[in-house]
Amino acid sequence: MGLLKRHHRRSLLQAPFPKEWEAILSRDVPYLQRFNDVDAQRLRDTIQIIVDEKFWEGCGGLQIDDQIRVVIAAQAAIMLLRLESTDYLHHVRTFLIYPGPYQQTQERVGSDGLVHSGTANLGEAWYNGPVVLSWPDALAASKSPGQGRNVVMHELAHSIDMLTGSVNGTPLLRNKSDYSAWQEVMGRTFQELREKTALGQPDVLRPYALTNAAEFFAVSTECFFDAPATLRSGHPEAYAQFTRFWGWDPANPASLHPE
């Protein structure tokens, strides 16, 4: 990170968190109520940086406002709470926001794992490109956590997966020694899900996770943050791998970092 950027961030964070943004958080991002003071401040710092550094573009006639920026940045901040290595998702420069599910018009990136097929999309993440989101779906996910679904987190999981240079469901893990356990556990969980789905049995992870390893990671990530206790009871081993990678336990956020 350059000196200028560092200086800019420091002066940005010296300004108080805007009161209007605080109102948006308490109204639209109930998830944030569960953190201790130190992490709550850290999340607000991340929100300020992401709102400031990303380019926010409204599509299909949508006017971008603070509510849109703050709600989406808050989902990112939750994911990045203990994931400093991404430098606030430095490779994601632009958020393209639509007023609803939108038609997919452009060609896909290729065979690197992004398979949001179908005609109406709620979101997508492009390799070294923008994250595209449907605003009503992003807002609905933020306002009612606990369903195991969150389109913003799903797309940002793809973006984080992309940091390795290939979108394969294995992000940049903290240690070289973490990879073998990750691959073994995720592979096994994928197989279990495939077998259950084939038998028509329900699972906390929706069948879309079986599209490929990248979608498995994105769908599991949504569930990890949005319905952590459910994922933990359904797939404890995968849950443990996720707490290691993301650096905290969303099923029990305050206890890990008491002040």
- Using the CB atoms, write b or e for 189-221: b if 16+ within 10 Å: bbebbeeebeeeeeebbbeebbbebbbbbbbbb
Q: What is the nearest approach in angstroms of Zn ion to the Cβ of residue 115?
A: 7
Ramachandran sector of residue 15 (left: φ over 0; alpha: ψ -120 to 50; beta: rest)? beta
Q: What is the nearest approach in angstroms of Zn ion to the Cβ of residue 254?
A: 30
Q: Which is nearer to Zn ion, 72 or 218 (CB)?
A: 218
Q: What is the nearest approach in angstroms of Zn ion to the Cβ of residue 112?
A: 12
Q: Which is nearer to Zn ion, 25 or 227 (CB)?
A: 227
Task: Give the tokens for residue 185.
Answer: 């556990």
Closest CA to 137 of 99, 96, 93: 99
Q: Which is nearer to Zn ion, 159 or 189 (CB)?
A: 159
C-beta nearest to Zn ion: residue: 218
Q: What is the nearest approach in angstroms of Zn ion to the Cβ of residue 124?
A: 7
Q: What is the nearest approach in angstroms of Zn ion to the Cβ of residue 220?
A: 11
Q: Which is nearer to Zn ion, 117 or 177 (CB)?
A: 117
Ramachandran sector of residue 92 (left: φ over 0; alpha: ψ -120 to 50; beta: rest)? beta
The Cα–Cα gap between 89 and 77 comes to 10
Q: What is the nearest approach in angstroms of Zn ion to the Cβ of residue 178?
A: 23
Q: Tell me, rounded to whole angstroms, the distance of Cα 214 from its chain centroid.
A: 13
Q: Which is nearer to Zn ion, 132 or 218 (CB)?
A: 218
Count CA atoms closer than 13 A to 81's CA, side-chain side.
Answer: 24
Give me the residues that bind Zn ion (CB under 5 A), please: 215, 218
Residues 6+ positions from 138 with CB-CB distance below 8 Å: 71, 72, 75, 97, 123, 151, 152
Q: Which is nearer to Zn ion, 53 or 124 (CB)?
A: 124
Instruction: Determine the length of the chain.
Output: 259
